[in-house]
Amino acid sequence: MKSFLLAIALYGALSCALPLTQEADQVAEADLDFAKKYIENYYPDSASTPVIRSKGSDDIPADKIRLMQERFGLKVTGRLDSNTLALMRKPRCGVPDVAEYSTFPGDPAWKKTKLTYSILNYTPDMDRADVDVAIERAWKVWSDVTPLTFTRVYGKPADIEISFAARSHGDYIPFDGPGGQLAHAFSPAYGGNAHFDEDESWVRDLTGVNLFLVAAHEFGHSLGLRHSGIWGALMFPTYQATDPQNFRLHRDDIEGIQSLYGPPEGGENGDGDDSSSGNPEPATEAPSTDLCDPRLAFDAVCSLRGETMFFKNNFFWRKNPQRRDVEKVPISAFWPSLSKGIDAAYEVKADDTVFLFKGHKYWATKGNIIQRGFPKNIHSLGLPKSVKSIDAAAHDHNSKKTYFFSGNSYWRYDEAQKSMEKGYPRKISADFHQVGSKVDAAFLNHGHFYLFVGSEQYEFDSGTKRFIGIKKSNSWFGCQ
DSSP string, 401-417: EEEEEETTEEEEEETTT
d(Cα 77, Cα 63) in Å, to the nearest integer? 9
With b for 16 or more beta-carbon neighbours within 10 A and e for fewer, the 67-94 pattern comes to bbbbbbebebbbbbbbbbbebbbbbbbb
Q: Return binding residues for Zn(2+).
A: 93, 169, 171, 184, 195, 217, 221, 227, 235
Q: Would you state the pLDDT for residue 271?
A: 53
d(Cα 340, Cα 428) in Å, to the nearest integer? 28
CB count, 10 Å around CB of 241?
13
- Looking at the DSSP bridge assignments, the partners of residue 316 are 311, 329
Q: Would you state the pLDDT for residue 170?
A: 84
With b for 16 or more beta-carbon neighbours within 10 A and e for fewer, the 259-271 pattern comes to bbbbbbeeeebbe
Q: Return binding residues for Ca(2+).
A: 125, 159, 176-177, 191, 197, 200, 299, 343, 345, 393, 440
Q: Would you state the pLDDT for residue 97?
A: 64
CB count, 10 Å around CB of 388?
12
| Element housing 253 (H / E) | helix 251-261
Q: How is residue 350 annotated by DSSP?
A: G
Domains in the chain with CATH codes: 114-261 (3.40.390.10), 300-472 (2.110.10.10)
Q: Angle, to 10 degrees, between the axis of helix 128-143 and the axis of helix 211-222?
A: 40
| pLDDT digit string (tens) for the chain, length 480 residues | 333 334 333 322 222 222 233 344 467 888 888 888 788 866 776 533 333 333 344 568 888 888 888 777 778 888 888 888 887 877 666 666 654 332 334 457 899 999 999 999 999 999 998 999 999 999 999 999 999 999 999 988 999 999 999 988 887 777 878 876 788 888 888 889 999 999 999 999 988 889 999 999 999 989 988 877 677 889 877 788 888 888 999 988 998 899 889 999 875 555 555 443 333 333 334 444 467 788 888 999 999 888 899 999 888 888 887 777 787 888 887 787 787 789 999 999 988 899 999 999 999 998 878 888 889 999 999 999 999 999 999 999 888 999 999 999 999 999 999 999 999 999 998 888 888 778 999 999 888 999 999 888 999 988 888 888 888 888 888 776
Torsion angle (degrees, nearest 10) of CA 347, 348, 352, 355: -50
Q: Would you state the pLDDT for residue 358?
A: 93
Task: Please list the active-site residues.
Answer: 218
Q: Return binding residues.
A: 93, 125, 159, 169, 171, 176-177, 184, 191, 195, 197, 200, 217, 221, 227, 235, 299, 343, 345, 393, 440
Give which of 404, 331, 343 is closest to 368, Cα–Cα. Answer: 331
